[in-house]
Amino acid sequence: MIITETFDELLSECNSNKLSIWQQAQAEEAFIQDISEKYLRDIVLRNINAMREAITNGLKSKEKSLSGLSGGDCYRLKTSYKKHPAILGEIFEKITMYALASAEENARMGKIVACPTAGSCGIVPAVLITMAEEYKISDEELINALLTAGKIGQIVSNKVRLAGAVAGCQAECGVASGMAAGLLTFLRHGNNKQIVNSAILAIKNILGLTCDPVCGLVEVPCVKRNPFLAIHAVTASELAFADIESKIPPDEVIDVLEKTGKLMSPVLKETSQGGLAKTKTGIELEKDLAEKL
Ligand code: SF4
């Protein structure tokens, strides 16, 4: 069994064997975990259902998180859309609401699916579940889509750890956006090259995004970053679908992601020693929270 480690290897293996990315990903993952492909698909479906649950719970809740730094924005957005529908239509509304719903659930310590991380947990589910509802996509096809997204995340993670503390938010919300772009292109029947290209366009256009959470909590700016980067994924998919390609090849972009992470000051890598965390308001919020505890 060949385990593909780069986007070049993945595309060439899929092309030689006439496979979709999800088929290659499924065979590799079942082999690595030493489980049947059927059992693997059951696990993936459980994750999809957990994504649905997080969105449903998040859409219903007005509650703040324990710190009070986040919560209630999804409800606010839902209420606003009833009076002022989004100019980009229902799919835009759902993607933004669903991304906020999961991210707020995470901040409230609810159950979410880290994809690839908890801080970026709203991006992939928002795109996946919106597509499922709007286009009546079967669970089997959603499993294929999530396997596609998972393979994209796994290839990036071969080069760089997907953690804000290692490479900034480009490696969390940025990679989540790439995964979401890839699955969206797959669900629209894009080919393997378009799928990889959409992921890379999303990641390339978010390089350098810092991780500077206020009070050291995964809330500000993390929660609102999720709807932004879910929509970013849609843009990447639209471009890739038109065969607009990244001039810099996929694996070279991932090299840059890794190098940019290394060049980033530790102050901007989840230490909360700079950026938004050390603004006047960020410092005041930190003091208020310390007094509350
Ligand atoms: S800002 Fe940092 S903690 Fe927040 S989602 Fe991005 S990487 Fe995670």
Domains annotated for the chain, with CATH where assigned, are 26-292 (1.10.4100)
Using a 6 Å cutoff on CB, does residue 120 contact ligand 1? yes
Place of tokens 């997204």: 149
Q: Where are the alpha helices (DSSP H) in 86-163?
A: 90-107, 123-134, 139-159
Q: Whose CA is nearest to atom 6 of ligand 1?
A: 169
pLDDT the model gives residue 253: 98
Using a 6 Å cutoff on CB, does residue 172 contact ligand 1? yes
Map residue 269 onto helix, strand or coil.
strand
Distance separating alpha carbons of residues 70 and 242, to the nearest angstrom: 38
15 token code pair: 């092309």
Q: Which three-class secondary structure string do you get for 148-168?
A: HHHHHHHHHHHHCCCCHHHHC
Distance separating alpha carbons of residues 274 and 261, to the nearest angstrom: 16
pLDDT the model gives residue 55: 98
Taking the centre of ligand 1 as the mean of its atom positions, its distance from the CA of residue 170, in whole angstroms, is: 9
Using a 6 Å cutoff on CB, does residue 211 contact ligand 1? yes
Using a 6 Å cutoff on CB, does residue 219 contact ligand 1? no
Distance separating alpha carbons of residues 115 and 104, to the nearest angstrom: 15
Closest ligand 1 atom number to CA of residue 163: 7
The pTM (predicted TM-score) of the whole model is 0.98
pLDDT the model gives residue 292: 87
One digit per residue, the tens of pLDDT, for the chain of length 293 reads 899 999 999 999 999 999 999 999 999 999 999 999 999 999 999 999 999 999 999 999 999 999 999 999 999 999 999 999 999 999 999 999 999 999 999 999 999 999 999 999 999 999 999 999 999 999 999 999 999 999 999 999 999 999 999 999 999 999 999 999 999 999 999 999 999 999 999 999 999 999 999 999 999 999 999 999 999 999 999 999 999 999 999 999 999 999 999 999 999 999 999 999 999 999 999 999 999 87
Distance separating alpha carbons of residues 174 and 161, to the nearest angstrom: 13
Using a 6 Å cutoff on CB, does residue 176 contact ligand 1? no
Cis peptide before 250 (omega within 30 of 0): no
174 token code pair: 């940025």
Calculate Rg over the CA atoms of the chain: 19
Angle in degrees, 0-180, between the axes of helices 7-17 and 192-204, rounded to the nearest 10: 170
133 token code pair: 């509802």
Closest ligand 1 atom number to CA of residue 219: 4
pLDDT the model gives residue 1: 87
Using a 6 Å cutoff on CB, does residue 67 contact ligand 1? no
Distance separating alpha carbons of residues 171 and 75, to the nearest angstrom: 28
pLDDT the model gives residue 293: 79
Taking the centre of ligand 1 as the mean of its atom positions, its distance from the CA of residue 159, in whole angstroms, is: 19
